[in-house]
Amino acid sequence: DAMVIQNPRYQVTQFGKPVTLSCSQTLNHNVMYWYQQKSSQAPKLLFHYYDKDFNNEADTPDNFQSRRPNTSFCFLDIRSPGLGDAAMYLCATSRRAGGATTDTQYFGPGTRLTVL
Amino acid sequence: AQSVTQLGSHVSVSEGALVLLRCNYSSSVPPYLFWYVQYPNQGLQLLLKYTSAATLVKGINGFEAEFKKSETSFHLTKPSAHMSDAAEYFCAVSVNAGNMLTFGGGTRLMVKP
């Protein structure tokens, strides 16, 4: 089945120790998103890639970076995690066609990050 | 800019009772509307979406939602709640400018035996 996969599902890191979260997809979608979701809150968009074009949300901290080496993979790098970065990180994908259309975002199962 | 309001951060129903989760949106252009469900420690799963076709949209797991432009609403309903419906539900809106979603605050549905 076509899907969005996130690894690992649970990640524990130490304060200030860089960490990388991984997302892969078999849907061949051209857009990939990273969201941060804190407890009892809605997901908050950090950034997205439209093909190779990176789009950062205005309020995303510089501590968060992303890489998309190819269509299938996208990584979230947190350079120096703080206690406030503990959250669920969700990857999503969609297919953006030309013109005034919108398509559905499909989410992965998420990675829960704990910062000690 | 668009926005979504979900009335009631927590809703509790008895098993077998009607489920009604409220969602109101604000959008300057015709919106696309979505309902997602999130089980504990899981990602978001699409329940249903409205894309300007039929105003009554049927989704998975027996859920449906009706788009009412005059009320700017897209409430989610299910005739008979099941214990497995207990989860967090998010309403979201998107407009034509790319596929960006704006989420509501979420509603936690609890189902009592």
Task: Give the integer Cα–Cα distance in Å for B17 and B50.
Answer: 25
**Yes or no, beta carbons of A90 and B43 under 8 Å apart:** yes
Residues of A in contact with B90 (CB under 8 A): 42-43
Q: Do A43 and A37 contact (CB within 8 A), yes or no?
A: yes
pLDDT at B108: 97
Q: Do the bridges between strand B107-112 and strand B87-94 make them parallel or antiparallel, or are there none, so unpaired?
A: antiparallel
Place of tokens 């497995």: B84
Q: If chain A, 116 residues long, is cut into consecutive pieces of 10 residues, what is the mean pLDDT of each piece?
A: 88 96 94 94 93 92 96 96 96 79 84 96
Residues of A in contact with B51 (CB under 8 A): 102
**Yes or no, beta carbons of B95 and A94 under 8 Å apart:** no
pLDDT at A95: 87
Pick the residue from chain A with its C-alpha nearest to B108.
Answer: A40
Per-residue confidence band for B53, with pLDDT thresholds at 50, 70 and 90:
confident
Percent of chain B with pLDDT over 90: 75
- Note the pLDDT tens digit of each residue in B62-78: 999 999 999 999 999 99
Whether the pLDDT of residue B96 is over 90: the answer is: no
The SS3 call for residue B56 is strand
pLDDT at B9: 94
